[in-house]
Amino acid sequence: MQRLRELRQERALALRELGELSSVSLNTIWRIEAGRQDAHPKTIRKLAATLGVDPAELVKGSSDA
């Protein structure tokens, strides 16, 4: 999910920091960003809330190659 990485980097957050703030494991965030794992809706909501965006913003463009 490229948009997740972009938003995280725009906010100058390391994977570990985003994980601590969102209560989502570092490994899960890494796998989602790398496209190795799909995010569960609950995970998307947690990450979006932490990043201060609507959950739809995270999945925007995720199907684009």
Per-residue pLDDT tens digits for 5-28: 999 999 999 999 999 999 999 999
Using the 8-state DSSP alphabet, how is residue 60 labeled? T
Contact partners, residue 11, CB within 8 Å, separation at least 6? 51
Residue 58 lies in a domain: no
Residue 8: inside a domain, yes or no?
yes
In a domain, 61, yes or no: no
Two structure tokens written together for 23: 């209560």
Structural domain for 23, as ranges: 2-51
Look-up of token digits 């390391």: 14
pLDDT, mean of residues 34-56: 95
Domain count, the chain: 1
Q: The pTM is what? A: 0.88
CATH number where 23 lies? 1.10.260.40
Residue 61: the pLDDT is: 62
Asked if residue 65 belongs to a domain, the reply is no
Type and span of the H or E element at 26: helix 26-33
